[in-house]
Amino acid sequence: MAKKSNLPVKAEVIKKFEPVQSLSIAGMFENWFLDYASYVILERAVPHIIDGLKPVQRRILYSMFEMEDGRFNKVANVIGHTMKYHPHGDASIGDALVQLGQKDLLIDTQGNWGNIYTGDSAAAPRYIEARLSKFALDVLFNPKLTDWGLSYDGRNREPIELPSKFPLLLAQGVEGIAVGLACKILPHNFNELIEGCIESLRGHATDLLPDFPTGGMADFTKYNQGMRGGKVTVRAKIQKKDKKTLVIDEVPFSTTTSSLIESILAANDKGKIRIKKVEDNTAAKVEIVIHLHPDSSEDLDKTIDALYAFTDCEVSISPNACVITGNKPAFLNVNEILKHSAAGTMQLLKRELELAQDELEEDWHFSSLEKIFIEKRIYRDIEECKTWEAVLEAIDKGLRPYRKKLKRDYTQEDIIRLTEIKIKRISKYDSFKSDEHIKSVEAKLKEIAHDLANLKQFTISWYRNIQKKYGKGRERKTQITYLEAINATEVVVLNQKLYVNREEGFAGWGLKKDEFVCECSDIDDIIAFRKDGTCVVTKIAEKSYVGKDVIHIAVFRKGDEKTTYNMVYQDGPKGFAMAKRFRVEGVTRDKDYDLTKGTKGSKVLYFSVMPDERGECVVVTLKPKPHVRNLLFDFEFNSLAIKNRSAIGNILTRHSVHKVVRKKGPLSEMPPPPPLPSTSTASTSSATSPATGNSKVPPALNPTKGKTPPTNGKGQIDLF
């Protein structure tokens, strides 16, 4: 009978299943996550600086090299062959293979491989074919110079990196997202890369700029050599077909005709642009036809600007040149990558020359041994030998007198190789042909020695030969230009109307029963000035609160350096009347700005808007007061300097003002400013109010005539 435990049932169960050793989940997560992050960075997303390839691309190309026989192979077969090197399935291999094929550099394609202009996908792998291009065979493979490693299952060997003699990383471009970092290198022009490599070898500085397969126009002012923080602005090429038709024949990189048309239709639905219809006639070349409305009053230039402002006809691309070097990620600019590639190519060519030199020297050595072995009839010395050791000894004895004629001493392997010469070859041996062969080998050795002595020039000649063979038809497609920024508010279609309720302080396009202000768009900002001397800038909406007692409201243009505001305000209930001229260029939305000194009870006595810096003349009427004889005087706003909105202005008068009205102005066609509400202490008049009584003002009281008015000791002019 089992001994009964004294522990409670639950405690006994817990003790039975208690782990022998506790593990830290945090530590396990940290180690596993670091392993995963390192694997994604090094083995999946980021290309290697030596060959410019991601692991999946390298495995595809090496598999195609193993299958290479000059004929096309079904892509399905290439994918299947690559799966013994790549552990992530056929879908990732197929996608990477199609992307390589669409770049038209390393792979010759046959069948429907999709369309980079329209975004159409390729046909199924069983229907399309591929093979390595001659360019790839020339610049990418050399098993003798390749470093090898085991595949993921240990059954095969695969290249750690391919001995690339061309900056494929910059030619093809690459994009990848890893853990904690990303890579985006833009494609560059084939011929410009070769010229850049040559200039780098000559010790000159290079300045590479991208070239996109889809063409278009690009501004590389902020390219920053492809490093983080840079930006490239790319635009479609838009042609004018007639007065109501536009044609897009080149699209920006990273877009397709489908996505571009969708963005155009979306902008049209939102009222940003006005178009009748869009036709996509793209086939071998891009052709998107945009038809405008027959009754449209917009000119074509403004419509083109609107397309750039509101659609994918203009896109911004942010490069981020990140590569694997020294088995870790590094951020390098494109010129440094090009320099590294040019130096690497020169070293690869040097190693190829040295290998060829070793092979030729070995050829010369054995050809000379064979000549001595046959012409001196040393082979006859082995006829009487009965053992293998005796054969080797006999040949060694026969060759000894001729050692000085060789560049190196012969070895036992050389002697064994001599014994493998067939009798038929000995009987048909031609001494003249042997001498000619040895002379040709010596000539090649001399040529290689010259190339090694002038390695830089040899590398430049190699680049020139590659350019001659493969550079035709690879001219630059993207036009390099400077693109001016387009202000969206200036080109947008005016699809709304601005209304205002001045007393209640509401404005927007939904107040159709209130006062109409102007035509506008739904992306505009509006600026509102109030009677208390404050202003605010806010986004236009159907109905928004801008503050009560609005004296002026309009569409606001950020950075406007022309529009000038003239204002007279009273500083508090008993303060002086101040005059100022100012502009409002940059503000923060929905923030109230005080245009006065900030004294409580300040109010605006006169306000007007001028489209430029030309001023105006106003008539100031003072309140009757003992000892004040002249109650009227003129004031020219041109006497004030134009300052920013925070300037407090100059003293207009120390006496109480009854009203201020415009006398004259250079812009009679300007719409009058809205009248200010009347008060018990002061009043204002619109720009069309008559300047009554001005003829009685003595010339001495006009501050714009005669002597300069005195100051009050603080740099402010006391005008009365």
Residues with active-site annotation:
127
Q: C-alpha dihedral over 307, 309, 314, 320, to 10 degrees?
A: -170
CA 152 vs CA 85, 91, 311: distances in Å: 7, 18, 46
Count H helices, E strands: the chain?
A: 17, 34
- Number of Cβ within a 10 Å radius of residue 196: 26
Query: Rounded distance, CA 293 to CA 297, Å?
Result: 9
Which residues contact residue 717 at a Cβ distance below 8 angstroms, ignoring those fewer than 6 apart? 639, 650, 651, 703, 709, 710, 711
- Of 308, 256, 309, 298, nearest to 276 by C-alpha is 298
Query: Rounded distance, CA 379 to CA 446, Å?
Result: 32
> 80 and 355 in contact (C-beta within 8 Å)?
no
Query: Rounded distance, CA 704 to CA 697, Å?
Result: 13
Query: Rounded distance, CA 589 to CA 600, Å?
Result: 24
Query: Rounded distance, CA 456 to CA 202, Å?
Result: 8
Provide the phi-psi class of 326: left if phi over 0, else alpha when psi is between -120 and 50, else beta. Answer: left
Residue 644 has which token pair? Answer: 């920013």
CA 89 vs CA 79, 152, 324: distances in Å: 9, 13, 24
Q: Report the amino acid identity of residue 677.
A: P
Query: Rounded distance, CA 437 to CA 270, Å?
Result: 80
Angle at 360 between CA 356 and CA 363, to 5 degrees: 140
Write the DSSP string, 29-42: HHHHHHHHHHHHII
Residue 509 has which token pair? Answer: 């396009």
**Residues, the chain, total?**
720
**Bridge-based pairing state of the strands 515-520 and 496-501:** antiparallel
Query: Rounded distance, CA 367 to CA 437, Å?
Result: 8
Residue 253 has which token pair? Answer: 């990189």
Beta bridge partner(s), residue 584: none
